[in-house]
Structure 1
């Protein structure tokens, strides 16, 4: 009998608790299940997006090898349009820009590079796009636009490349003192064993510059 009474008290307590908090508990459980389902669904979506993007990027790479500019541009457009938030989109736009440039399709090359600058999620990819686009603008004699692209902050590892490109633009403008300063900075930021140092030094010598001090 004591057991029955104790059991009845527990049931009464449980019933009272349920009457007071039952709806809250149901809502909390529902929200927890919905959150878990949403999280699982989002992870599945992300994996699916990445897999599709990887397959399309593989097709783009094959087109790059075949030097098929039209196919490369189609694949890159699909990637940036459908999978713009993936790293594959940034890589595809940079690859498509290079192929377009080699095909003398400068308008398309500029468009692809501009996409990376405006939509890229990684500072490194955006830096590469800015430096390459500044090179095209140099060829087009759009010097001020090129220098504007190279202004602002860049990841540390791009300091030499940025200074070198600035030197090219300034030299083309016949701003020799400023170009010399830029080339000297590029040398200072380039490691001693980097083969690119020789070209920078040649450009510096061509405008009557002096070697940068050895900071290594």
Structure 2
């Protein structure tokens, strides 16, 4: 080895003494980060698989017509274990429908209230709140009205919310407020032609001059 090679080797050794530990630490951190990412991806995939399995179990209970109690048990297991999954939202909607069909309106409202709190996006929360109000309306129009007015409403739901609000106010013998709600529904747009005609008929029934 000539002198120039020795000098280069010494410079390399000196550079490694200065920078080597930091490079090794950076590599270790990167490796740990990569391992954590893969671990999270694996955990997420397994969680989704378990949620899908729980949803399949719930659907099987429905298919077998196992009864409301069995559906509630299967549904609650899924909601408790997989609250953050899309399967939980689907289960809550289906379970609430079964509860309402069985006349268990209070239980349906409770299930939909859970979905209002845990929905992953605003449209799902607004749909759940609308259905919750409809379930409550079967037994307690005042509570239904309170649920309906429990938050802001996006444009896509404004008309149907206003129509239901008009129905509730009419049932509570508050015709002027009901008429205003029906006008809001008509002005909001988004109603199908038959629905618009029905809202207009309701409005004329309580406010003939409309």
Which band: TM-score by shorter chain? 0.7 to 0.9
Contact 2:159-2:191 within 8 A present in 1 as well:
no
CA distance in 2, matches of 1:117, 1:13: 66
Q: Secondary structure at the match of 1:154?
A: coil
Instruction: Identify the residue that residue 169 of structure 1 maps to in structure 2.
Output: 168
**Structure 1 length normalisation: TM-score?**
0.85
Unaligned runs of 5+ in 1: 212-216
CA distance in 1, matches of 2:52, 2:208: 47
Which runs of structure 1 show a deviation greater than 6 angstroms over 4 or more consecutive aligned residues?
none
CA distance in 2, matches of 1:174, 1:198: 22
Instruction: Identify the residue that residue 207 of structure 2 maps to in structure 1.
Output: 208
Among 48, 51, 55, the residue aligned to 2:49: 51
Unaligned runs of 5+ in 2: none
Q: Secondary structure at the match of 1:91?
A: helix
Please give the per-residue CA displacement for 1:41-94, whole angstroms capped at 9, x wherever unaligned: 111221222222123223323433444323322222122111111111112111
1:12 aligns with 2:10: yes
Contact 2:141-2:172 within 8 A present in 1 as well:
no
Instruction: Identify the residue that residue 117 of structure 2 maps to in structure 1.
Output: 118
Q: How many residues align?
A: 208
**Structure 2 length normalisation: TM-score?**
0.87
What is the root-mean-square deviation in Å for CA atoms of aligned residues?
A: 2.2
1:6-85 alignment runs, 5 A limit: 6-67=4-65, 68-85=67-84
